Amino acid sequence: MRSPAARAATVTCSLALLATLGACSGAGVDGTPGADGVRDPYFPKLGNGGYDVTHYGLTLGYDPDSRHLTGTADITARATKNLSSFNLDLKGLDVSDITVEGKAARFQRAGHELRVRPADELDRGETFRATVRYAGTPETITDDDGSKEGWLPTDDGALALGEPTGSMAWFPGNHHPGDKASYDIEITVPKGLKAVSNGELTRESTKNGRTTFAWHSAEPMASYLATVAVGKYELKRSTTDDGMQVITAVDPARAKASKKVLDELPDILEWSEYNFGPYPFSSTGAIVDRAGHVGYALETQTRPTFPGDFNTGLLVHELAHQWFGDSVTPKSWRDMWLNEGFATYAEWLYEEDNDGDSAQETFDALYDGEYFEDDEDNEALWEFPPAKPTDAASISDSPVYERGGMVIHKIRQAVGDDTFYDIVQGWAKTYRHKNADTRDFTEYVEEHAGGDEARAKVRRIWGDWLYGDGKPDHR
C-alpha cells in the first residue's frame, strides 16, 4: 500500500518535475531502479541493491527422470529506498509470471539479472511481497576454480549446493551473503524419494503418487547455505541430550561406511559448544550423498552436506562452520578466511583435544613446509595473504584455509588460552546471526586482547599474517 505522503509526491512529480526533467513516466514518483549488484569485490554482480529480503517461501516440485523443476518463490522484502524497479538473481529457468503485492509486474532478463518492475512503485521502508513463478531444468554451474555447484543431478535425484553463486540456479533471490533471511522450503517429489533441506521438517504428506516435504528455517540464512537434496535417502530423526533435533539423510550406499563418523556428531557438537558457545540454530544433522556426485563438503545451514567419503575432521570442520560462516556470515566473499580459517582451526583444536597433534605442531608443520605431501602445496600456502585472495578462483585455496587457521593460532599465542576462548565465544555471540568482515574481526580482537601489550602484538599479526604478502619471516 502506498502511503498518502507518497501519493502526494506523485502529484508533485507529475506537475513540477515532468515539465522540467521529463523524468516522471507512468506511476513514477521519485523511485529509481535498484542496483543490479552489491559490488562484492570478487563477484560484483551478485546480490542486488534497494531492498532486504526477510523471508523466502519456496514451493518446489522436482522430477528426477525429466530433470524438470517447477517453482514458486514468495519473497518478502523491505525496500531500503524508493524503488521503480528492483533486481533478483536467477540463472537459467523460465519465468512465467511475477506479482508484487498481488499485482502483475513486468519483468526483463539479462544474464542472471531478473529486473522486476512492479505496477506500483515501492516506498522506502515498505515491506512488500514478490511472487515469482518459474520452471525448467536447473543448471549446474562450473566455478572459476573448476568445481561444480548449483543444481547437481545425481543417480537418484539431485543436490543443490550454492557456494559461492549456485543458489541462483534453483531460486530467484538476493544472492549475496550480505542479505540473510528466514526460509520455508517445500519440495514435492515422486513417492519413494526423500527431499531434504535446511531446518526442521514441519510436514510430510503423500498424495497422487507424490510426496511433499516442508522444511522450516527460522534463523537467518545466507542463500549460499540453502540446500535441497532429492534422492533415496535414509532419513533419521533423533534428539541430543539437550533435546535438539538431529536429522540425518544418508544415501543407503553410504549408510554403513558413514555410521561411525555420524555417530560422533552429538559429541562433536558438545565439544563445539564448549569451545565456541551455544549452538546458533534449532536443529542439526547431515546430508551424506554417494561418492562421485560431488567432490567436496559444504556447510549447508543446520545440515552440512558430505560427499560419500568423509572423516571426523571434515565433520568437525562443517559443524564449526555453523558458528563461523553460517551464524556469523561474511559481509563479502573477500572475508572468506573468517569462515575457513576458523573451521580449519577447529579441526586442529579437535585433534589437540583428542590425543592428536597439538595446534602448535600443526602450525609448525605448515610453517616448516612439512604439512602437505607435495612441496608445491607447501609453497602455495604463501601465495597470497588470507584477507586478500588473488581472485574469485582462489577463495578456496590454502592461504584462505590453512594460513587462515594460522592467523587464529597466532592470536591464541598472543593473548593466551583463556583470553583466546573468550574472544572466540565473544565474537560468535556478538555477531550471532549477523554479517561481519575482517575489519570487524580485527577491531573485536584488539578490543578484547587484554591490554596494550597484547593489542600491539595482535596488530603485528594483522600486518604479517593477515594482510602481508609472502611467508612471514618469523613464526
Q: Give the interface with ligand TRP as residue ranges (CB under 6 A).
A: 147, 163-164, 296-299, 317-318, 340, 343, 395-396
| CB closer to ligand TRP, 4 vs 146 | 146
Binding residues for Zn ion, rule: CB under 5 A, are 340, 343
User: What is the CB-side half-sphere exposure of residue 185 using CA atoms within 13 A?
Assistant: 27
Dist CA 256 CA 36 (whole Å): 47
> CB under 5 to 8 A by kind: which of ligand TRP, Zn ion, none does 296 bind?
ligand TRP
> CB under 5 to 8 A by kind: which of ligand TRP, Zn ion, none does 297 bind?
ligand TRP
Dist CA 97 CA 172 (whole Å): 12
> CB under 5 to 8 A by kind: which of ligand TRP, Zn ion, none does 54 bind?
none
| CB closer to ligand TRP, 317 vs 409 | 317
> Residue 68 is placed in which grid cell?
524438470
Residue nearest to Zn ion (CB): 343
| CB closer to ligand TRP, 132 vs 406 | 406
Least spacing, CB of residue 77 vs ligand TRP, in Å: 26
> CB under 5 to 8 A by kind: which of Zn ion, ligand TRP, none does 298 bind?
ligand TRP
Least spacing, CB of residue 224 vs ligand TRP, in Å: 8
Least spacing, CB of residue 283 vs ligand TRP, in Å: 20
Dist CA 103 CA 303 (whole Å): 36
| CB closer to ligand TRP, 78 vs 296 | 296
> CB under 5 to 8 A by kind: which of Zn ion, ligand TRP, none does 251 bind?
none
> CB under 5 to 8 A by kind: which of ligand TRP, Zn ion, none does 93 bind?
none
C-alpha dist (Å) from residue 331 to 42, 322, 338, 431: 12, 16, 10, 11
| CB closer to ligand TRP, 222 vs 297 | 297
Read out DSSP for 31-60? -EEPPS----SS-TTSS-SSEEEEEEEEEE
Classify the phi-psi angles of 67: left when phi > 0, otherwise alpha if psi is within -120 to 50, otherwise beta.
left
| CB closer to ligand TRP, 126 vs 299 | 299
| Strands of the 234-239 sheet, one edge to the other | 234-239, 245-250, 283-288, 305-306
Bridge-based pairing of strands 245-250 and 234-239 is antiparallel
* H or E element at residue 193: none
